[in-house]
Amino acid sequence: MARYRDMASTEDNQSDMDLWTVCDKGHVHWGRAGGAGVLFRHVPEQGEPTYLLQLRSKSVDYGGTWGIPGGAIRRGETPEMAAHREAEEEIGALPPYRIRGTEVQDCGGNWKFHIVTADVDQEFPAFCVRETYATGWFTREDMRNLALHPGLQNWLDQQDSGGR
Ligand SMILES: [Zn+2]
């Protein structure tokens, strides 16, 4: 989801959704067709589940906050496909995973971000390939002490109020 891919994207029909867009509420969002990211979870036999987070580089929106790998959905992609592609671009090869569901966040202005939640068998090493300063596995409790991307903060608040 390179933020500065706009110039090159005209040569690649699939990535013509990799553009900033303004929603009905006047927010500026990345991705004309919406965005998607994947939130990996590992559930240990004992103890709290951990989640893979990514510290966003300064070159992207909300740089310096912790979020999930993701980006713009391209033409012909499902949110799940886009989330997979973006995660591989940003943190490297992914292990097999089981998709639990997809949670849609609408900003209120008809622009949607899809959080694909998925389980993995173990905490795998995630790299900082692109747009990523650091990665790490955190419990929900840990997340409370991090500066989170607003979308992830929103997800966390929902989890805590939903009792899941
Ligand atoms: Zn919006």
Task: Report the separation in Å between the CA atom of 151 and the middle of ligand 1, taken as the mean of its atom positions.
Answer: 12
Q: How far is the CA of 57 from the centre of ligand 1 (A)?
A: 22
- Place 108 in a pLDDT band, splitting at 50, 70 and 90: very high
CA of 142 from ligand 1 middle (Å) equals: 28
Using the mean position of ligand 1's atoms as its centre, give its distance from the Cα of residue 134 in Å: 27
Please say if the pLDDT value at position 48 is more than 90. Answer: yes
Q: Which of 56-60, 102-106, 122-126 has the lowest mean pLDDT?
A: 56-60
Closest CA to 74 of 23, 25, 12, 118: 12
Residue 143 has pLDDT above 50, yes or no: yes
Domains, in order of start, for the chain: 6-162 (3.90.79.10)
Distance from residue 27's CA to the centre of ligand 1 (Å): 4
- The Å distance, Cα 113 to ligand 1 centre, comes to 10
Is the pLDDT confidence value at 1 over 80?
Answer: no
Q: Say yes or no to pLDDT of 58 above 70.
A: yes
What is the pLDDT, as a whole number, of residue 15?
A: 73
- The pair of structure tokens assigned to 28 is 């500026």
Average pLDDT over every residue of 65-89: 96
pLDDT value at position 7? Answer: 45
Per-residue confidence (pLDDT) for residue 112, from 0 to 100: 96
Quote the CA–CA distance of 139 and 150 in Å, as a whole number: 17
Q: How much distance in Å is there from the Cα of 31 to the middle of ligand 1?
A: 11
Work out the mean pLDDT of the chain and round it to a whole number. Answer: 90
For residues 20 and 28, the answer to whether their CB atoms sit within 8 Å is: yes
What local confidence, expressed as pLDDT, does residue 14 receive? 66
Res. 163: pLDDT tops 70: no
Ligand 1 mean position, distance from CA 112 (Å): 8
| pTM for the structure as a whole | 0.87
Q: Say if CB 71 and CB 82 are below 8 A apart.
A: yes
* Residue 100 confidence (pLDDT) above 90: yes
Which helix (H) or strand (E) segment holds residue 143: the answer is helix 140-143
Q: What percent of the chain has pLDDT over 70?
A: 90
Residue-by-residue DSSP string for 57-95: PTTSTTTTSEE-SEEEPPTT--HHHHHHHHHHHHH----
Give the pLDDT of residue 93.
95
Q: What is the three-class DSSP state of 51?
A: strand
Tell me, rounded to whole angstroms, the distance of Cα 13 from its chain centroid: 23
